Chain A
Amino acid sequence: MKLVIGIVRPEQANEVLEALYRAEVRGFSVSRVQGHGGELDRVETYRGTTVKMGLSEKVRFEVAVSDSFVQTTVEALCEGARTGEVGDGKIFVVPLEQAVRIRTGEPDEAAVTPVAK
């Protein structure tokens, strides 16, 4: 089991969602984050105050998947999030020790497998 973390542009979030659905990755959580990568700072001016915005808005996807699904998930995140310009984001894959589906108490692999209807 792995936790796949994708940090992407907010304007690409919808593309990523579409790509994940297409790849049949059904379970994930999404949060709005702020971060800094290699991208150029935006300069903004408010009356006499000029600032460089060091933090950019990003959207963070967290997807817990079984090992066989890692590659599919990473590819879907890349496909949806890539624009080719600096600031497209990062993907991190980290090992996952344990998972539990709260409703049933199912552990691990079963917990990260979508419920078949």
Chain B
Amino acid sequence: MMFAAIDTGDTAWMLAATALVLMMTPALGLFYAGLVRSKNTLNTFMMCVAAIAIAGVTWALIGYSLAFDGEGALLGGLGHFALDGVGFEPRGEGTIPHLLFMAFQGTFCIITVALISGAVVERMRFGAFMVFAALWSVVVYAVLAHWAFGGGWLAAQGTLDFAGGVPVEMGSGFSALAAALVVGARKDYGRQALLPHNAVYVLLGAGLLWFGWFGFNGGSGLGVGDASVLAFVNTLLTPACALITWFVLDLIRGRKVTAIGAATAIIVGCVLITPAGGFISPGWAMVLGFLGALPCYGMIMWRPRTRVDETLDVLAAHGLAGFTGILFLGLVAQVGWNGVADGLFYGDAGQFWSQALAAIVTPAYAFVMTFVLLKLVGAVMPLRATEHDEAVGMDVVQHGEEAYVTGEGAILVMPDGDDRPVEVPVANPG
């Protein structure tokens, strides 16, 4: 039996959107894997895969409940612990099954956890990362999601956040900064050039992320209404404009348009429009792409000159872009487009201050909590691999695999435990 409030069109789109958002996490794995050295390809990718495993479970067990059970100012309740009471009946005023809403929000938690790994790749121990991921998904993500989406105090005082500028983008970006500071720089950082090993992965990952982002932003209207269509279209326009800005800045800086720069611009553009997607006109979304890319570009050029090895620039591409997007929305939101609120340019200065409040409190909470969490995890287990292991590469050390194994000289170990060195080269282990 289907509940009367359920809309089949909305439900159909949200099923697809949830799958699209889940795909963003392996896409991010590809993007990140291309940006690291070849000896760390698998470890980097696996951190994203681990996020699906860890955050998927913590979300169902407790994260969802803390984020979306009740209207507590700071935190939700435990009423939905282990998905208790999450069934086919819509949640509140919704038009899709509660269970589907939970899964859609869960994919957001997963990718946010995966995003933070970008700050600590190439040296953080895989086990320590998984422990951190489990704690972070509950202590930081669920709390921020409650504030922005679940009826918490930020939403209650008027902050608009369409698809996760608060919990996802600023949450991951400023947590990434804290993680980079606690875990520390790679041993060769600042001494050797540590270059991306496969720019095609980076571009392909960025392309798949963009594709998935249509579900991320387009699904955040929780249906097929005007807001979803607006966010969907803006997800096309803003990254395109960010790309153009990036091309121009690359040309000015080095006289060449770079591929990895373009991949970065796609991410920055998608992040910029994430908080604002369903609230601002397509015209302003384009302006946001053109202008919002500027500070992010500046930060990505400046950060490697510092001693902070925030390796894959999560702070610039997500934290700063999310920050920019959430403020910009406070300037140019239009009731004519969103039916909800006007921004400063259209007569409501209060909206801008609501946005500014979120842009101050979220980074502070994410940074401080992540810093403390990692210090706690670090007190009970080593956070990083030894210098020797870091030099050999995390793939072999942490996973016992290589991304680009040739099989030459590989000696088969017999399954009966008798590992006499039979000289059988394994051409291509399946």
- Chain A positions within 8 Å of B, measured between CB atoms, are 9, 11-12, 14, 34, 36, 41-55, 83, 85
A52 touches B410 (CB 8 A): yes
Q: Which B400-430 residues have C-beta < 8 A from chain A?
A: 400-402, 405-413, 415, 419, 421, 426, 429-430
- Chain B positions within 8 Å of A, measured between CB atoms, are 188, 192, 388, 391-393, 396, 400-402, 405-413, 415, 419, 421, 426, 429-430
A51 touches B430 (CB 8 A): no
Given A44-B396, A47-B430, A83-B388, CB of A55 within 8 Å of CB of B409: yes
Cα–Cα, bound, A21→B60 (Å): 57
Q: B409 — nearest CB in chain A belongs to which residue?
A: A55
For the complex formed, measure the closest distance between the CB of A90 and the CB atoms of chain B, giving whole angstroms. Answer: 18
A51 touches B426 (CB 8 A): yes
For the complex formed, measure the closest distance between the CB of B301 and the CB atoms of chain A, giving whole angstroms. Answer: 24
Cα–Cα, bound, A3→B429 (Å): 38
Q: Which of B188, B388, B391, B410 lies in contact with A51, CB distance below 8 A?
A: B410
Contacts of B402 in A (CB 8 A): 44
A51 touches B411 (CB 8 A): yes
Q: Residue among B188, B392, B410, B419 with the most chain A CB within 10 A?
A: B410
23 example contacts (A-B, Cβ-Cβ < 8 A) are as follows A11-B393, A43-B400, A44-B396, A44-B405, A46-B401, A46-B405, A46-B429, A47-B429, A47-B430, A49-B426, A49-B429, A50-B412, A50-B413, A51-B410, A51-B412, A51-B413, A51-B429, A52-B419, A52-B421, A54-B421, A55-B408, A55-B409, A83-B391
A14 touches B408 (CB 8 A): no
A52 touches B411 (CB 8 A): yes
Q: B396 — nearest CB in chain A belongs to which residue?
A: A42
Contacts of A14 in B (CB 8 A): 188, 192
Q: A52 — nearest CB in chain B belongs to which residue?
A: B411
Contacts of B388 in A (CB 8 A): 83, 85
Cα–Cα, bound, A46→B396 (Å): 12
Cα–Cα, bound, A82→B68 (Å): 56
In the A-B complex, the 5 residue pairs with the smallest Cβ-Cβ separation, listed nearest first, are: A55-B409, A11-B391, A46-B429, A51-B410, A54-B409
Given A14-B192, A51-B426, A52-B419, CB of A44 within 8 Å of CB of B409: no
For the complex formed, measure the closest distance between the CB of A47 and the CB atoms of chain B, giving whole angstroms. Answer: 6
Contacts of B411 in A (CB 8 A): 41, 51-54
Q: A49 — nearest CB in chain B belongs to which residue?
A: B429
Contacts of A51 in B (CB 8 A): 407, 410-413, 426, 429
Cα–Cα, bound, A36→B421 (Å): 14
B408 touches A34 (CB 8 A): yes
Cα–Cα, bound, A42→B389 (Å): 13
Cα–Cα, bound, A12→B412 (Å): 29
Q: Residue among B391, B402, B407, B413 with the most chain A CB within 10 A?
A: B413
For the complex formed, measure the closest distance between the CB of B207 and the CB atoms of chain A, giving whole angstroms. Answer: 28
Q: B430 — nearest CB in chain A belongs to which residue?
A: A47
Contacts of B407 in A (CB 8 A): 51
Q: Which of A34, A36, A42, A49 lies in contact with B430, CB distance below 8 A?
A: A49
Contacts of A41 in B (CB 8 A): 411
Contacts of B405 in A (CB 8 A): 44, 46
Given A43-B400, A46-B430, CB of A54 within 8 Å of CB of B413: no
B409 touches A36 (CB 8 A): yes
Contacts of B391 in A (CB 8 A): 9, 11-12, 83
Cα–Cα, bound, A12→B391 (Å): 8
A54 touches B410 (CB 8 A): yes
Contacts of B396 in A (CB 8 A): 42, 44
Cα–Cα, bound, A75→B410 (Å): 33
For the complex formed, measure the closest distance between the CB of A31 and the CB atoms of chain B, giving whole angstroms. Answer: 15
Q: B188 — nearest CB in chain A belongs to which residue?
A: A14
Cα–Cα, bound, A41→B405 (Å): 15
Cα–Cα, bound, A48→B415 (Å): 9
Q: Which of B409, B415, B419, B430 lies in contact with A53, CB distance below 8 A?
A: B409
Contacts of A83 in B (CB 8 A): 388, 391
For the complex formed, measure the closest distance between the CB of A84 and the CB atoms of chain B, giving whole angstroms. Answer: 10
Contacts of B401 in A (CB 8 A): 44-46
Contacts of B421 in A (CB 8 A): 52, 54
Q: B401 — nearest CB in chain A belongs to which residue?
A: A44
Cα–Cα, bound, A54→B408 (Å): 8
Contacts of A44 in B (CB 8 A): 396, 400-402, 405, 410
Contacts of A36 in B (CB 8 A): 409
Contacts of A45 in B (CB 8 A): 400-401
For the complex formed, measure the closest distance between the CB of B418 and the CB atoms of chain A, giving whole angstroms. Answer: 12
Cα–Cα, bound, A48→B401 (Å): 13
For the complex formed, measure the closest distance between the CB of B409 and the CB atoms of chain A, giving whole angstroms. Answer: 3
